[in-house]
Amino acid sequence: MKSTIPQDNQRDIPRLTAWQLTSYGLLTMPLAMAGLALLTYLPTFYAIDMGLGLGVVGAIFLGGRILDILTDPLIGNLSDRTRSRFGPRKPWMAAGIIGFCVALWFLLVPPGDIGPAYLIIVGAVFFISLTMLDVPYSSTGLEISPYVDERSRLASSKAGFQVAGAMLAGTMPLLLATSASGSLPAIAMIAIGLAALGFLLFVIFVPSRDRVDQRSSMGIGASLKTILAESRYKYLLGPFFIVQTANALFSGLILLYVTFIVKAPDLIGIFVGLLFLSTALFLPLWLAIARRVGKAKCWQAGIMISMVALLALPLFGEGDVVAICIIFAVIGGTFGCDAVMPTSLLADIASDHESDTGDRLSGVYLSVKNAVSKCAFAAPMGIAFPVLGYLEFEKSGTHDPVTMLTFMGFFALIPVALKCVAIVIMRRGPDFHIAQAS
């Protein structure tokens, strides 16, 4: 067995400080701000305000997402194979941060009259730059600690800043007392400033423990074949995709649920904010549970808790704001578990692989997981929205029993069924045995 960090030396490596964890996680905040703007504000802005039309904008953004999915494994593999005096990841991050900041500004603050070609070009630069920045950055989190519990703390740091970034971008129109489109320049300036600060802190304070003498010598095809041969990884990807799909159905239909079922469209910001807030607040609890029972069992517990909460949703409706807020807080709390535990388990798998073989494949491991996540969040919108549109949900709403049942099926019942399948797969799969020092 070839070990990249000798087992007898692992205990000599100092633990990460709170400041180092902060310096690692901060860069996630501007990425989350850009992501929320991309998903919620920009489609309507370009389609309506800029006059490109819903069909054109939808096709362009779908093409950008496909490009994003295809480039993830490629950039992951290239960053695994890179050698430099700064390590394999930072050169890619340096190039990515420049493109990300420039493209984000032109994407959120376009000049006066633009056409579809403008959005295609700027969007392509943005997605490619985002991948060049995010995949190597997130891969570093899989590599810098030999300690099993510390990998969960690294994932939690990213999750916490991700929630903070999404909340900041989501509440920016409210804070500025302006429209969503009117808040885009402020979001761009803040995100670019945080990106520059986050990258600087990352370079200065995050330790380089990425074994620069090790690298992957395999091409993208061989790398993919190698990681997909790892049974634990396959049994991680399957439940991860299923749970992400379930969460995407719930998240994507919240706006319709609050508007037509709860009949409180003015409270949408409160419900969404509560989800993000509870995600952050519950993170320490999941870390404590994982230390006691293990990461896989902790994740299963989070999934089962969310299933109970989802099953309670059909019992409430118009006027039941307090009860629904409580349910949303519970569901939001489990989102943190769904984010942290799979990422931490992935870090264990990638670290074990590098220890056993000497091949660095963290970038490919992470990029395939990212691609799976993006597929999960894209697929439900291609199913639920067309069906609800065909049933004219926005017109019939709660007045038609079939339409109501269909909506609640997509919003709560199908997610519960999917999560049941994920639990079964996880319990029938191999144990997530950890070979590295804990």
pLDDT score of 437: 40
CA 147 remoteness from chain centre: 23
Q: What average pLDDT is seen over the chain?
A: 83
pLDDT above 70 as % of the chain: 89
Do 178 and 261 fall into the same domain? no
pLDDT higher than threshold 90 for residue 110 = yes
The verdict on 243 and 100 lying in the same domain is no
Predicted local confidence at residue 266, as pLDDT: 75
CA distance 106 to 383: 32
Residue 380 has pLDDT above 90, yes or no: no
Residue 367 confidence (pLDDT): 82
Q: Considering the chain, what percentage of its residues have pLDDT values greater than 90?
A: 36
- How many domains does the chain divide into? 2
Higher pLDDT, 230 or 311: 311
Q: How confident is the model at residue 7 (pLDDT cuts 50, 70, 90)?
A: very low
- Beta-carbon contacts of 331 under 8 Å, excluding residues fewer than 6 positions away, are 250, 275, 278, 306, 309, 310
Residue 1 lies in a domain: no
Give the mean model confidence (pLDDT) for residues 316-327: 90
CATH number, position 311? 1.20.1250.20
What band does 433 get if pLDDT is binned at 50, 70 and 90?
low
Pairwise pLDDT comparison (229 vs 243), residue with the higher score: 243
Question: What pLDDT, on a 0 to 100 scale, did the predictor assign at position 4?
Answer: 43
Q: Regarding predicted confidence, which is higher, 394 or 357?
A: 357
Identify which has the larger pLDDT, 79 or 303. 303
Let me know if residue 29 belongs to a domain: yes
Give me 158's structure tokens.
């990213």
What is the per-residue pLDDT for 210? 46
| Shared-domain flag, residues 318 and 234 | yes
pTM: 0.75
Last residue of a domain, one of 150, 180, 209: 209
| pLDDT of the residue at 175 | 82
Tell me the pLDDT tens digit for each residue of 114-150. 999 999 999 999 999 999 999 889 888 878 888 878 8
CB atoms within 10 A of CB 293: 12
Looking at the structure, do residues 201 and 244 belong to the same domain, yes or no?
no
pLDDT 10s digits, 182-217: 889 999 999 999 999 999 999 999 987 645 445 455
Higher-scoring residue by pLDDT: 190, 394: 190
Q: Are residues 323 and 394 in the same domain?
A: yes
Instruction: Identify the top-confidence range among 73-77, 177-181, 420-424.
Output: 420-424
Residue 275 lies in a domain: yes
Last residue within a domain, chosen from 178, 209, 240: 209
Q: Is there a single domain that holds both residue 255 and residue 365?
A: yes
Q: Is there a single domain that holds both residue 110 and residue 256? A: no
Q: What is the pLDDT of residue 104?
A: 97
146-166: b (≥16 Cβ within 10 Å) or e: bbbebbbbbbbbbbbbbbbbb
Q: Does 215 fall in a domain?
A: no
CA distances from 392 to 13, 216, 399, 413 (A): 60, 52, 11, 20
pLDDT band for 396, please (50, 70, 90 cuts): low
Higher pLDDT pick, 168 / 378: 168
Shared domain for 148 and 241, answered yes or no, is: no
Q: Are residues 250 and 364 both part of a single domain?
A: yes
Q: Does any domain span residue 66?
A: yes
Q: Can you give the pLDDT at residue 129?
A: 95
- Kindly state whether residue 356 falls inside one of the protein's structural domains: yes
Average pLDDT of the segment spanning 74-87:
77
291 compared with 307, residue with greater pLDDT: 307
- For residue 45, what pLDDT is reported? 82
Q: Which residues are CB-neighbours of 79 under 8 A, at least 6 positions away?
A: 88, 89, 92, 135, 136, 139, 363
Q: What is the mean pLDDT of residues 418-423?
A: 96
Rounded-to-integer distance, Cα 320 and Cα 312, Å: 12
Same domain, 237 and 320: yes
Does a structural domain hold residue 6? Answer: no
296 with 407, same domain? yes
Q: Are residues 249 and 115 in the same domain?
A: no
Asked if 363 and 80 touch (Cβ cutoff 8 Å), the reply is yes
Residue type present at position 170:
G
Domain annotation covers residue 214: no
What is the predicted pLDDT for the residue at 344? 87
Q: Which domain holds residue 119?
A: 14-209
